[in-house]
Amino acid sequence: MKKIFPLVFSLFFVVFTNFAQEKKEAKKTQQGHIDQNKFRQMKDVLATPNDQHTASGAPGHQYSQQKVDYLMNIRLEESTNIIYGDEKITYQNNSKDHLEYLWVQLDQNMRADDSKTPLATSGGAAAFITPNNFQSTYMKEGKGFGFNIEKVETNDAPLSHFINRTMMRINLPKALAPGESFKFRIKWNYKINDINKDGGRSGLETFPDGNNNYTIAQFFPRLAVYDNVEGWQNMQFWGRSEFALEFGDYEVNLTVPADHIVDATGVLQNEKNVLSKTQRKRWEKARKSFDNPVFIVTQEEAEKAEKVRASGTKTWKFKAQRVRDFAFASSRKYIWDAMATNVNGKTVMAVSLYPKEGNPLWEEHSTRAVAHTLVEYSKLTFDYPYPKAISVHSERQGMEYPMICFNFGRPNADGTYSDRTKKGMIGVIIHEVGHNFFPMIVNSDERQWTWMDEGLNSFVEILAELTYDSELFATNPAKKITRYMGGDQSNISPIMSQGDYVKQFGPNAYSKPAAGLYMLRKTIMGPELFDHAFRTYSKRWMFKHPTPADFFRSMEDASGMDLDWFWRGWFYTTDVTDIAIKAVKSLYLTDKPSERVTKLKEQYKQYFEGLGDLVYITDKKEDANASAMDSYANGKEVPSFIYSVEFEKPGGLVMPIIVELTYEDGSTERQTFPAQIWMKDDTTVKRVFASTREIKSITVDPDFETADVDTSNNSWPKKQADKFDQFKNKVKG
């Protein structure tokens, strides 16, 4: 053996050197090219690592971020639907920079009468329109939305500021040095929007009985993020791309009508002042109930409360530590239930608030879905660190905030509901509660990269849904995304696009990233390797601001896999997967060398002599001799069926080739070739399959694991329907 391998190598080297020299002579006039190999490293697109965001994807030893604390007094005036706020802000500069000003987000100004958001949408005249929409669109009917800033001051003195639509610049009296803090006050008010009439991510829902359901968020001026990646993240809020926020501590006093039930981000500080003795007793019982929700307010009590109006007010006091935002819900219509959840030894409260219009669906599933989400997400990321998670029902909402989220899913008026309604309701609760992990804790920049929270969260959501109800949520994300990916390329954006200009926002920011991560876990990396890497990223960036590069690098760093080919193709391009069987050739064992091999043996006699005995492979059936290997097989059965299979790749993406062989006896066998099989040739590759049984058929990607957009070319022999499928695809294209 020591002699044969050098001889074989030398023979092939001489033969292919001559061949390469001939090709070189033929192509002397061709120009050079840059590296466009699909497996080239991503150093040309990822940010240069530094001591804050390292090459491993972890936070560096110089990583820092700002801290912002809020002390707020909020009053909800039900008679006018106006919120009045007075907030004191402490801004801690933990960066190495001197700051001349601070930027504050005024998200409610997106719907102000002078907002530019409606003007940024292209559209012609509609054939029909409601009178209300005609008034608001063409008669310039103002609604009076947006922040009214009453005061901006520091130490009781006016503070210079400038409002640029949804952003307000606070001009500091002097530059804020590293390590210093600055305290100031903003007093404000605004009219609350009706979610069903005016739209919006938060607001109020009105009911025929005259009551309102207030689900309130983005309701106060909030500090923008300052970091070493973007500087100030002060991009305008156009209504789609969400929020970049700093962590801090909150102390919030919420004054609402006395008969309202309230819950919010944080821990309630004054239970005895706002809850009845019966409610406190039930809450204590809920803290010990790990199997079933306990009603703190029953449906009968909620129905009784909604029929009257209290004249006074109550103030609910909440404190929250290390959160990036604050939201609350308030209504006299709420049914309130809760149960304890064991998250790796720590008790976390799962809570639901909902009007009777949500039942029976909500009392059956909401709190259980919250608890399930906390447990399942914690398995794949980190133990949920907050004391509770709340699901609040509103007819048309699906929005997330620290410890609280607002969710749709309403049964029919008679209480009946379809599986579709049930699936949508449970799915949105799992999704929105899951956002506590991404981005409420792993705090990515939503204004820039929607997929970093929506895509990652949608991926974990899929796994959590499957463990909640595998039949109801049975899915194949890779297969489902093919219709989108195989669509009109002029209407598709790469995932790595800023959210405001993305086309087909849902598939781009939610479905495609989730499908990609699902493929990574199931097909490319395997669950054990993927889960370790994903957990590593999640824990590294808890309560910090990661970038896309931090995610990509962490996944590779913790897994030992080079995934640049996947990130580049799936996230930075709109290329598609399309792997086809180009040709299958039957080959045969023989003891007769072909004419070409005979010539080679004569030309390189000394090399062939060192190889000893040889058997040959031919494509001529008449020369077949299945017994050619018998004397060398040491009693083992010799494969007499040999197939040379050529695969081609009409699609731009490289992916593993999953091959299923079906034998004449009906049995099957699978072989998976890693994506790296395409490293040397991006168009076609070949593999040889040898068997003791005849292969009846060959199928590429039989379970639709790689998001192949055209399965008509995945089989051999080709199916009869292929031509019709190709015709349909041609017509569709």
pLDDT for residue 17: 44
State how far the Cα of 437 lies from the Cα of 461, in Å rounded to an integer: 11
- Whether 133 shows a pLDDT value over 90: the answer reads no
Q: What is the pLDDT of residue 719?
A: 78
Per DSSP (E only), the strands in 38-160 are 67-77, 82-92, 99-105, 148-154, 157-158
How far from 534 is each of 46, 453, 466, CA to CA, in Å?
Answer: 19, 14, 19
The CB-side HSE value for 83 (13 A sphere, CA atoms) comes to 30
Mean pLDDT to the nearest integer, 382-405 = 97
- Kind plus residue range of the DSSP H or E element containing 11: helix 4-26
Residue matched to tokens 């009845």: 276
Average pLDDT over residues 594-606: 90
pLDDT > 50? residue 429: yes
- Selection from 732, 712, 710, 707 nearest residue 481 by Cα: 707
Tell me the C-alpha distance between 377 and 432, whole Å.
12
CB atoms within 10 A of CB 18: 11
Per-residue pLDDT, 492? 97
CATH topology of domain 45-63+444-574: Neutral Protease; domain 2 (1.10.390)
CATH architecture assignment, domain 64-119+132-246: Sandwich (2.60)
Tokens 């005016």 belong to: 198
Model confidence pLDDT, tens digit, residues 149-190: 999 999 999 999 999 999 999 999 999 999 999 999 999 999
Domain locations in the chain as residue ranges = 45-63+444-574, 64-119+132-246, 577-732
CA distance 670 to 240: 44
Q: Are 177 and 135 in contact (CB under 8 A)?
A: no
Between 400 and 19, the higher pLDDT residue: 400
**Peptide bond before residue 494 is cis, with ω within 30 degrees of 0:** no
The answer to whether the beta carbons of residues 47 and 53 sit under 8 Å apart is yes
Per-residue confidence (pLDDT) for residue 124, from 0 to 100:
85
Confidence band, pLDDT 50/70/90 cuts, at residue 720: low
Q: What is the largest CA-CA distance in the chain?
A: 107
The encoded tokens of residue 98 equal 């001197």
Dist. CA 142–CA 144, nearest whole Å: 6
Residue 651 to residue 405: CA distance in whole angstroms: 40
Contact 167, 105 (CB under 8 A): yes
Label residue 11 by pLDDT band (50, 70, 90). Answer: very low
74 CB neighbour count, 10 Å cutoff: 22
**Predicted confidence (pLDDT) at residue 19 exceeds the cutoff of 70:** no
Query: How confident is the model over 207-260, as pLDDT tens digits?
Result: 999 999 999 999 999 999 999 999 999 999 999 999 999 999 999 999 999 999
Distance CA 153, CA 159 (A): 4
Residue 379 tokens read as 């398995």
Q: How far is CA 653 from CA 65, 152, 687, in A?
A: 38, 54, 19
